């Protein structure tokens, strides 16, 4: 089953997406997401200029061999650009394998380990009152696990909170915007936010929060301890994770569960975090961590140490990634939860899909393969439109993690 075509489709139905389409000699095609938010064309070029020519003539059935060929064969290993490109190939080949077998991909991964995939949503507010309204709204939509982010008094803009009425979208058009950050303002405010949310909604719902890599380990320990009365489902990315042993310090001081990994791209990024049980949830996802094949290896390692999965699912991961993530989530034993940040209506039309949401759960559907496609004619009507993630500076102007 030779590969006869591999091409990249870049489209911007409200935000940019990079999609790899692989076609076999039998006319079967598979899709893979290759979107790297704010750096999209680097992956598009990696695929078009360097990977696609190597795929032509290869046997599409040999997913693991092609993965190893691209990983070991490049000599230069890992990194978000390389691993997103490999992920796209891997995802597209699983899609093809499912279509040829006439089975949904989750059946090829061992079958369903659960009836459906529990998801968490985002409730964002410019202040605490707005956050309360957003939580109420999402409870009405059936979610039972809700990430809460709020504007911080004294700070002009905050991660996760939209300006105006439009849904929150991390990448912004028209250049790089600069946010200002105060750790002290944040650390003082954050327990008050969750005190209010618990007072309004009680103890039953699961609450999550994303720190977005902004604290030092000891500050993260303080945040985690101050949030203990509100028993979060998780505190996400409390500190940058390049230094995995930094999480030991956080663990010594707090029992608030920790989720990390949306920026990781290989098992080595979380090896120590998992083996020392320094985290509770690993947030690696299909597109940025080497595809379904590599994500399964991460999950298998995590399973040994009672670490569960909690894959990233922001809008900058395309519906192709969402579909692949749901097949993975449904099948893997140590699944924890899946992030769900719905795409806009234009995106849903460009990428017709079988997956669905109901009452706090999602399901990938039972179509052969991933159950997602791309309307190429429609995609062509939305040309690439550069957008950047913001940067963050402390109040005195020093660059800080965003």
Distance separating alpha carbons of residues 271 and 304, to the nearest angstrom: 12
| Closer Cβ to ligand GCO, 58 or 312, answer by number | 312
Distance separating alpha carbons of residues 396 and 180, to the nearest angstrom: 9
Residue 19's H or E segment, with its range, is: strand 17-24
Q: Which of 46, 106, 159, 186 is catalytic?
A: 159
| Closest separation in Å from C-beta 313 to ligand GCO | 7
Distance separating alpha carbons of residues 202 and 130, to the nearest angstrom: 18
Strands 258-260 and 234-236: parallel
Q: Which of 160, 183, 162, 163 is nearest to 400 (CA)?
A: 183
| Closer Cβ to Mg ion, 210 or 373, answer by number | 210
143, 120 in Cβ contact below 8 A? yes
Q: Give the sign of the dihedral formed by CA 293, CA 15, CA 401, CA 130.
A: negative
Near Mg ion by CB under 5 A, which window of 5-13, 63-71, 205-213, 361-369? 205-213
Residues 319-378 that bind ligand GCO (CB under 6 A): 339
| Closer Cβ to ligand GCO, 96 or 298, answer by number | 298
Residues 290-329 that bind ligand GCO (CB under 6 A): 312, 314, 316
| Closest separation in Å from C-beta 318 to ligand GCO | 12
Residues 70-109 that bind Mg ion (CB under 5 A): none
160: left (phi over 0), alpha (psi -120 to 50) or beta: left
Could you confirm whether 212 is annotated as catalytic?
A: yes
| Closer Cβ to Mg ion, 210 or 219, answer by number | 210
Distance separating alpha carbons of residues 297 and 290, to the nearest angstrom: 10
| Strand segments (E) across 73-183 | 117-125, 145-150, 172-173, 178-181
Taking CB within 5 to 8 Å according to partner kind, which of Mg ion, ligand GCO, none is near residue 354?
A: none
Q: Give the sign of the dihedral formed by CA 36, CA 11, CA 26, CA 55.
A: negative
Residue 208's H or E segment, with its range, is: strand 206-210
| Closer Cβ to Mg ion, 210 or 329, answer by number | 210
| Closest separation in Å from C-beta 315 to Mg ion | 12
Which positions from 287 to 326 touch Mg ion by CB under 5 A, shown as an x/- string? ----------------------------------------
| Closest separation in Å from C-beta 170 to ligand GCO | 4
| Closer Cβ to ligand GCO, 33 or 210, answer by number | 210
Strands 29-33 and 117-125: unpaired
Taking CB within 5 to 8 Å according to partner kind, which of Mg ion, ligand GCO, none is near residue 316?
A: ligand GCO
Strand partners, 393: 180, 399
Give Cβ neighbours of residue 188 (< 8 Å, ≥ 6 apart).
none
Which positions from 53 to 92 touch ligand GCO by CB under 6 A, shown as an x/- string? ----------------------------------------
Distance separating alpha carbons of residues 205 and 275, to the nearest angstrom: 30
Residues 29-48 that bind ligand GCO (CB under 6 A): 37
Q: Which of 250, 230, 255 is nearest to 239 (CA)?
A: 250
| Closest separation in Å from C-beta 17 to ligand GCO | 12
Question: Which tokens belong to 294?
Answer: 């590599």
Which positions from 320 to 349 touch Mg ion by CB under 5 A, shown as an x/- string? ------------------------------
Could you confirm whether 357 is annotated as catalytic?
A: no
Which of residues 40, 210, 269, 354 is near ligand GCO by CB under 6 A? Answer: 210
Q: Which of 122, 138, 209, 212 is catalytic?
A: 212
Residues 206-225 that bind Mg ion (CB under 5 A): 210
Which positions from 153 to 182 touch ligand GCO by CB under 6 A, shown as an x/- string? -----------------x------------
Strand partners, 338: 119
Q: Residue 260 — φ and ψ, nearest 5°?
A: -145, 150
Distance, C-alpha 378 to centroid of its chain: 25
Which of residues 212, 222, 294, 340 is near ligand GCO by CB under 6 A? Answer: 212
Q: Tell me how long the chain is.
A: 402
Distance separating alpha carbons of residues 186 and 164, to the nearest angstrom: 22
| Closer Cβ to Mg ion, 11 or 150, answer by number | 150
Residues making contact with ligand GCO (CB under 6 A): 37, 170, 210, 212, 262, 312, 314, 316, 339, 389
Residues making contact with Mg ion (CB under 5 A): 210
The catalytic site residues sit at: 159, 212
């Amino acid at each position: 089953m030779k590969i006869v075509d591999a091409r990249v489709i870049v489209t911007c139905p409200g935000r940019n997406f990079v999609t790899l389409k692989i076609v076999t000699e039998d006319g079967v095609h598979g899709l893979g997401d290759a979107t790297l938010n704010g750096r999209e064309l680097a992956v598009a070029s990696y695929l078009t200029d360097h990977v696609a020519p190597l795929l032509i003539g290869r046997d599409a059935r040999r997913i693991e061999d092609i993965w190893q060929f691209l990983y070991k064969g490049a000599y230069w290993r890992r990194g978000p650009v390389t691993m997103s490109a490999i992920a796209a190939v891997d995802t597209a080949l699983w899609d093809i394998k499912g279509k040829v077998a006439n089975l949904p991909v989750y059946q090829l991964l061992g079958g369903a380990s659960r009836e459906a995939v529990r998801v968490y949503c985002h409730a964002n507010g410019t202040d605490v009152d707005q956050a309360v309204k957003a939580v109420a709204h999402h409870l009405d939509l059936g979610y039972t696990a809700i990430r809460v982010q709020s504007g911080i008094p004294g700070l002009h803009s905050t991660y996760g909170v939209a300006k105006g009425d439009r849904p929150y979208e991390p990448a912004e058009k028209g250049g790089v915007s600069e946010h200002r950050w105060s750790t002290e303002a944040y650390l003082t405010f954050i327990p008050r936010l969750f005190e209010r949310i618990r007072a309004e909604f009680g103890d039953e719902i699961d609450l999550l929060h994303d720190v977005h890599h902004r604290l030092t380990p000891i500050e993260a320990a303080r945040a985690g301890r101050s949030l203990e009365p509100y028993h979060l489902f998780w505190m996400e990315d409390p500190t940058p994770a390049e230094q995995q042993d930094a999480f030991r310090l956080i663990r010594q001081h707090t029992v608030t569960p920790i989720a990390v990994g949306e920026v990781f791209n290989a098992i080595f990024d979380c090896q120590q975090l998992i083996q020392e049980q320094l985290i509770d949830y690993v947030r690696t996802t299909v597109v940025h961590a080497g595809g379904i094949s590599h994500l399964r290896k991460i999950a298998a390692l995590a399973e040994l140490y009672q670490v569960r999965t909690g894959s990233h699912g922001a809008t900058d991961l395309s519906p192709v990634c969402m579909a692949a993530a749901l097949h993975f989530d449904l099948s893997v034993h140590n699944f924890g939860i899946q992030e769900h940040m719905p795409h806009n209506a234009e995106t849903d039309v460009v990428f017709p899909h079988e997956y669905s949401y109901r009452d706090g759960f999602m399901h990938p559907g039972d179509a052969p393969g991933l159950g997602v496609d791309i309307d190429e004619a429609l995609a062509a009507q939305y040309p690439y439109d550069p957008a950047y993630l913001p940067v963050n500076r402390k109040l005195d102007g020093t660059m800080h993690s965003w």
